[in-house]
């Protein structure tokens, strides 16, 4: 059985992006030589993201293919044209994950896509990098919702100015 993982960075005050979906604050953060991204990326079969995350990533890549070696899915109610590097999904993300639970899935981004997954208790593992930046406003990682969850601490990793927190969901009682 696969696992569902969130891997991403936030500002110290909990934002994934600024009000305009910008990430300049993150790219201005010194990461040093060490990173966990390459090792993490090798463990993933599939990526899930919302439309805004996809579009912002494509801007950063100047139109290059996004994760061409992975199966990529973009959740959107507004995109209709086929994407060169991802499949558009209109169904409920919870149902989608249940149908793909044999794969290791990376939830890229957060917010609206993450909330129903939290409410269904579907995130198995968390890698959250915290940047020493206060944005004051923007797109939150955790939206208000009907969820409460206690996680198990695994470790922390310092990557330059970033601190990565690694948590797992405790094993469920069968």
pLDDT digits (tens, 9 = 90+) for 50-78: 998 898 889 888 889 999 999 999 999 99
What does the pLDDT read at residue 110?
73
Query: Quick check: 174 pLDDT over 60?
Result: no
CATH dotted code for 4-168? 3.40.430.10
Measured CA to CA, the distance from residue 121 to residue 16 in angstroms comes to: 21
What does the pLDDT read at residue 21?
86
Residues of the chain with pLDDT > 70: what percent? 98
The CA-to-CA distance between both ends of the chain, in Å, stands at: 15
Task: Provide the pLDDT confidence category of residue 42 given band limits of 50, 70 and 90.
Answer: very high
**Mean local confidence (pLDDT), 145-152:** 93
- What residues pair up with 151 in beta bridges, in sequence order? none
Comparing CA positions, the residue from 63, 65, 64, 52 lying closest to residue 23 is 52
Query: Quick check: 33 pLDDT over 90?
Result: no
pLDDT digits (tens, 9 = 90+) for 85-141: 999 999 999 999 999 989 999 999 777 899 999 999 999 999 999 999 999 999 999
Q: Whole-prediction pTM value?
A: 0.92
């Amino acid at each position: 059985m696969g696992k569902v993982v969130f891997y991403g960075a936030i500002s110290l005050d909990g934002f994934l992006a600024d009000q305009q979906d910008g990430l300049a604050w993150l790219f201005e953060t010194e990461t040093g030589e060490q990173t966990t991204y390459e090792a993490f990326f090798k463990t993933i079969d599939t990526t899930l993201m919302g439309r805004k995350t996809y579009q912002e990533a494509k801007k950063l890549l100047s139109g290059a293919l996004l994760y061409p070696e992975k199966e990529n899915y973009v959740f959107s109610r507004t995109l209709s044209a086929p994407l060169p590097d991802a499949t558009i999904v209109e169904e409920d993300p919870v149902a989608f994950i249940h149908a793909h639970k044999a794969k290791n899935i990376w939830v890229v981004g957060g917010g609206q896509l993450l909330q129903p997954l939290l409410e269904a208790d579907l995130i198995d593992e968390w890698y959250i990098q915290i940047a020493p930046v206060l944005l004051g406003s923007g797109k939150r990682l955790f939206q208000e919702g009907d969820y409460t969850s206690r996680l198990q601490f695994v470790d922390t990793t310092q990557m330059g100015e970033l601190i990565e927190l690694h948590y797992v969901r405790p094993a469920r009682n069968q």
